[in-house]
Amino acid sequence: MSPVREERSAWTRPHLLGLRELSAEEIMAVLDTADSFAEISTRSIRKVPTLRGRVVVNLFYEASTRTRLSFSLAAQRLSADVLDFTKESSSTAKGETLIDTARNIEAMGVDVFVLRHAAPGAATVLARHVKCSVVNAGDGAHEHPTQALLDLFAIKKRLGRIKGLHVAIVGDIAHSRVARSNIWGLQKLGARVTVVGPPTLVPERFRELGVEVCHDLDKVLPEVDVFNMLRIQRERQGTLNFPSTEEYTRLFGLSRERLARAKPEAVVMHPGPINRGVEISPDVADGPRSLVLEQVAGGLAVRMAVLFLCAGRSAALQAEEAQAQAATSAATQGPGAAAQGGSA
């Protein structure tokens, strides 16, 4: 596991709150560490003792399948203990706040909170109120950093690079935390990014993030190396932002016929859940140019890397704080107190 030890020096954070704040070197540290962990899932015994004795809490205030299960399995593969929190069966129904809930759980002795919450910035707020590590598993329409990291990991695995690639993120950009995290990560690693969709879902203001904005998928088809297809997030929309689902599919859905007009080596991604026949046709989602299952498989290694890096850094910081407190206490007591203690 020596590659992991080498890459840890590039990571100095106890939390993963978003990709906007990370450097290219920090992103690559996660991807390279994930590459080291990917091999574990091919073993007959798929577990290492890296986080033995640590406790990871999945603090999910929104529904999730892939992300929650992936984090749980990642923690278990690292030999950590896992606790699953769900909003419906918690004291949240009685009026308890996120901070009160987290601090009470932390008092039981936990090391990492993996938080999913509907409020943008929730993970950042939580990190200010707890001593353990916080990993953002999606906060409203703000960021979803581990999804973007696993997308980057899958692209790099299949195409061998990220720098210089042209990536089209297609669909509901306005309401997508996945799109925002991907924009930050892709640009930091040197990719060209175009966001594509109807004007109601892809506002011109996204140009301020340094991306190109296009409202015609067919126009960019021949230029794109990677298509990242996003679903329409009806749960975050007050009203339907286009005339009909059929019209959306006709204009922005990725079908086999449309993909045939793209580069022969172009690949297709989707963060899930997929609305088959809407943003992507079944034969494309399941075809040889699809990275969907590679994203899921790589996501496990990426989340193992994130837990390893954050929990390791958090433990180091806590140890430093404990040593500093002990040194301060010894200096305050002085040699007389030590002598008194020795004669007792």
DSSP 212: E
Q: What percent of the chain has pLDDT over 70?
A: 86
Least Cα distance to 291 among 143, 145, 144, 156 occurs for 156
The reported pLDDT for the residue numbered 304 is 98
What is the rounded average pLDDT of the residues 54-67? Answer: 95
Please state, rounded to an integer, the average pLDDT across all residues of the chain: 90
The pLDDT tens digits of the residues spanning 190-201 come to 999 999 999 999
Range list of H helices, the chain: 2-8, 24-38, 66-77, 98-106, 122-129, 145-159, 177-188, 217-220, 245-252, 256-259, 282-285, 292-343
The pLDDT tens digits of the residues spanning 245-263 come to 899 999 999 999 999 999 9
What is the rounded average pLDDT of the residues 118-132? Answer: 97
Report CA torsion sign: 294, 149, 73, 9. Answer: positive
The reported pLDDT for the residue numbered 2 is 40
DSSP string over 8-60: HTT---S-B--STT--HHHHHHHHHHHHHHHGGGGSSS---STTTT-EEEEEE
Lowest mean pLDDT among 48-52, 96-100, 323-327: 323-327
Could you tell me which residue, 92 or 185, shows the higher pLDDT? 185
Sort residue 132 into left (φ over 0), alpha (ψ -120 to 50) or beta: beta
Lowest mean pLDDT among 20-24, 93-97, 160-164, 277-281: 93-97
The pLDDT tens digits of the residues spanning 71-120 come to 999 999 999 999 999 887 778 878 899 999 999 999 999 999 999 999 99
The reported pLDDT for the residue numbered 6 is 46
> In Å, how far are 124, 273, 315, 337 from 312, measured between CA atoms?
19, 32, 5, 35
Residue 3 has pLDDT above 50, yes or no: no
The pLDDT tens digits of the residues spanning 265-287 come to 999 999 999 999 999 999 999 99
What is the rounded average pLDDT of the residues 290-316? Answer: 91
Categorize the per-residue pLDDT at 144 as very low, low, confident or very high, splitting at 50, 70 and 90: very high
The reported pLDDT for the residue numbered 1 is 42
Q: What percent of the chain has pLDDT over 90?
A: 79
What is the rounded average pLDDT of the residues 138-146? Answer: 97
The reported pLDDT for the residue numbered 339 is 46
Neighbours of 89 (CB within 10 A): 9
Q: Round to whole Å and give the CA distance between 116 and 48.
A: 26
The reported pLDDT for the residue numbered 329 is 60
Residue 49 has pLDDT above 80, yes or no: yes
User: What is the pTM (predicted TM-score) of this model?
Assistant: 0.88
- Are 152 and 186 in contact, with CB atoms under 8 Å apart? yes
Categorize the per-residue pLDDT at 335 as very low, low, confident or very high, splitting at 50, 70 and 90: low
Helix (H) or strand (E) holding 170: strand 166-170
What is the rounded average pLDDT of the residues 139-148? Answer: 97
Categorize the per-residue pLDDT at 10 as very low, low, confident or very high, splitting at 50, 70 and 90: confident
Residue 342 has pLDDT above 50, yes or no: no
Residue 340 has pLDDT above 60, yes or no: no
The reported pLDDT for the residue numbered 234 is 61
